[in-house]
Amino acid sequence: MSLILFTATGCARCQIAKKFMREKDLGFAEHDAVGEGKELFGKFYRAHRAAIVRGAEGIEFPVLADGPEVRQGVAAVIAWLQAGARLDGFIGRSDVSRGWVGGLHVSKGDPAAMEDLVGVLGFLKRNGLKLQLDTDGRNAAVLEHLLAQGLGDRVVMELKGPRALYAAMTGGSIEPEEVHRSMVRVAGFPEHRFETTVAPVARTAEDSEGIRYLTPDEVAETALWLKTATGSHRQPYVLHVFDPQADPDDRFRSVEMLTPAVLLRHRSAARRHQVLTEIE
């Protein structure tokens, strides 16, 4: 294994990644991407733009190169070092900062990799990072296990839509009861919130004519489901605008993007059952 770790001067998360590598006795070459390794990293970045995200605050470090494999961010780097690609579904790029780690997708990984997941999250947590878990209801047992282990500080649940559309919107089969079970667990966690992205839905299989956005009534049904499952009409519930360009499903790329103003009707409908609904 030939590991190269790009770090940045003063980067605390880079220190955590290096600590993990030392504990695992993993040899690596380190280059400070804003110091002596600036030129080298520039060259590396130009060759791997697709794998390295430049966010609003610049490039997040550390960045790990393991042969052709590139991982960015402390969680993704440690996950790769711990279990290779087996945790790729669970751990992605974090979009939160200032002491928090996000991109921890409870619903998108293979439950068989649970032991490795617990190991990675436990290491992050022991080193002072706060963990934001996200779920869409799948893998309810994984969520329950992680929270029982204290491996979560905030939980965000994406409610894809109403019961009848849920399986179609998650791209496979899912039992509404499992979503219900996740809702109950999330609502019982001290710091949590529920979200729905008002997204297009393929109403009929393989028929682009059948693609239509969630309607206000369908969002209201979703809010009602949330109320029924959690017994509360006061859940923190947020609606998001769908970004067609960021969606991996090619069928939705040509869908016209809604404006936040359009979502006002969805908010009004949702507030019939969840009074704190807002648009972000």
- Using CB under 8 A, list all residues that contact other proteins: 216, 234, 261, 264-265, 267-269, 271, 275-276
72: nearest Cα among 96, 94, 40, 100: 94
CA distance 182 to 157: 8
Q: Which is nearer to other proteins, 19 or 233 (CB)?
A: 233
Query: What does DSSP assign to residue 226?
Result: H
**Cα–Cα distances in angstroms (integers) from residue 275 to residues 191, 234, 261, 272, 278, in the given order:** 18, 6, 18, 7, 9
155-167 core/surface letters (b: 16 or more CB in 10 A; e: else) = bbbbbbbbeebbe
CA distance 222 to 162: 4
What is the chain's percent helix, strand, coil content, to nearest 5?
A: 40, 20, 40
CB of 227 to other proteins, least distance (A): 13
β-strand partners of 218: none
Q: Is residue 200 reached through a cis peptide bond, with omega within 30 degrees of 0 on the bond before it?
A: no
Q: Which is nearer to other proteins, 14 or 226 (CB)?
A: 226
The phi, psi pair for 93, rounded to 5°, reads: -80, 135
Alpha-helical segments (H) within the chain? 12-23, 38-47, 74-83, 114-126, 140-148, 163-169, 176-187, 216-230, 263-270
Q: Which is nearer to other proteins, 71 or 266 (CB)?
A: 266
Q: Which is nearer to other proteins, 193 or 265 (CB)?
A: 265
Sheet of 100-105: strand order equals: 100-105, 130-135, 154-158, 192-198, 237-241, 278-279
CB of 216 to other proteins, least distance (A): 8
